[in-house]
Amino acid sequence: MRLTVKKTPAGGTLRAISSKSHAHRVLIAAALADRNTEIACCDINEDILATVRCLTALGAAISYMDGVFTVAPLARPVSAESCTLDCGESGSTLRFMLPVACALGAGASFSMRARLPQRPLSPLYGELTAHGCALSPQGSAPLTVSGSLTGGEYRIAGNVSSQFITGLLLALPLLVENSRINVTGKLESRPYVDLTLRALRDFGIEIEERCGSFLIRGGQQFSSPGKLTVEGDWSNAAPWLALGAVSEQPVTITGLDTNSPQGDKAFIHILRRFGAAVCRDASGITVCGGHLKGIDVGVRDIPDLVPMIAVVALAAEGRTRILNAARLRLKESDRLSAIANTLGALGAQIAETPDSLLIEGGRKLRGGSINSQNDHRVAMMAAVASVLCDGEVAIAQAGSVNKSYPRFFDDLRSLGGGTAEEQP
């Protein structure tokens, strides 16, 4: 789908969509639990549906009606006969479900699309094979797995993907033996692990953290809380908070929990550092522009915010440096390069290094045609950047937003953003 976004005044109020990060975790925990769970989740997307498909393939019964998932847990033991788990393009689904399937002893074939087969699985891959499982070669599509995971000592580098640690934290309580995950180096995207630990606590699973390691007692039972609600998504609220910072009208977002473990809530503090006005009250979080100035910002724990930080940097006087961003090269696209190329095509002065972006702000952008490279966050970034452009912004592969935010362009229209859909 090709979509054109016109520069128009944009502002107003929106409700934050449900967090797909939280939804992945609680859906998996519910499928492993002792009884049915009702999960209120007002919004679904392709990534969440990928996790639902995989859990259903393993034997869970999951229905969705009126914004609520009802999850009947899978029966155990799970059949060792091979089943197909369709991960779509969801890296979270693959990295969470792979160790879970191994812990259940389920022979499985993981199907994947787009760039997912090329995204890294090591060191998780090596740890699974070292603990009783056989996997087809990395990069295989489909990826097949057999055998039963065993407990013990696991070693995971902290600078590749926190999703590897989350997958093991979800899986290892199912084993008879105790286990330890030893994290080497700095654990990047730490807030996502905190979100996992909270979801596990909600289902009665105890994890002890000690000196850079996670200690997991074996033989634990996931205990359903009965009902729970998926919290609002800070990552997908970021486009609208950025829009408020760079446009002439304020934007208010409701339904966000400032006490959430989600690391991307840091965006409101980053916006304040740029010079935007951020107000929080009972009605939500409101952002409006101010005299924006460039800043240096490290993104080791908040890589998903980089596209929207870049948009705000375009409107800020002076230079912004976005640092420690190398892992963006391993996303749905080489996102660091995609951001630089996309904003450069719109007229931005932006330079890319192996792990950073340097942006000279305060310049007029001309608009133009870009390709999202099938990356949902690049498509959203281009749409928000349109308010800074003299001309229209035409986005090829705009439908990539369905991965995490299917109604993104509808919400943009509701805020006054002008869009026109074109045929492929």
Q: Exposed/middle/buried for 288, CB within 10 Å: 0-12, 13-18, 19+?
A: middle
Instruction: Supply 133's token pair.
Output: 């499982």
Q: Shortest CA distance to 384 belongs to which of 233, 265, 238, 256?
A: 238
User: Is the CB of residue 320 less than 8 Å from the CB of residue 346?
Assistant: no
Residue 144 carries which side chain, given as an amino acid letter?
Answer: T
309 vs 301: CA distance, rounded Å = 14
Instruction: Supply 71's token pair.
Output: 């999850």
Q: Would you put residue 242 in left (φ > 0), alpha (ψ -120 to 50) or beta?
A: alpha
SS3 for 263?
A: helix
Q: Would you put residue 305 in left (φ > 0), alpha (ψ -120 to 50) or beta?
A: alpha
Provide the strand spans (E) within 16-118: 37-40, 61-65, 68-72, 83-86, 108-111
Query: Which DSSP helix (H) or strand (E) runs through 24?
Result: helix 20-31
User: Is the CB of residue 351 less than 8 Å from the CB of residue 327?
Assistant: no
Tell me if the bond preceding 77 is cis, omega within 30° of 0: yes
User: Is the CB of residue 305 less than 8 Å from the CB of residue 264?
Assistant: yes
Q: Shortest CA distance to 204 belongs to which of 26, 72, 38, 54?
A: 26
Residue 334 carries which side chain, given as an amino acid letter?
Answer: D
Residue 22 carries which side chain, given as an amino acid letter?
Answer: H
216 vs 214: CA distance, rounded Å = 6
300 vs 327: CA distance, rounded Å = 8
What is the Cα Rg of the chain in Å?
21
Residue 257 carries which side chain, given as an amino acid letter?
Answer: D
Active site residue 304: yes
Q: Which of 301, 304, 410, 411 is catalytic?
A: 304
Q: Shortest CA distance to 370 belongs to which of 350, 347, 387?
A: 347
Instruction: Supply 412's token pair.
Output: 């943009």
Query: Who contacts 287 (Cβ-Cβ below 8 Å, separation ≥6)?
Result: 241, 242, 244, 245, 250, 251, 268, 271, 276, 277, 278, 279
Q: Which residues are catalytic?
A: 304
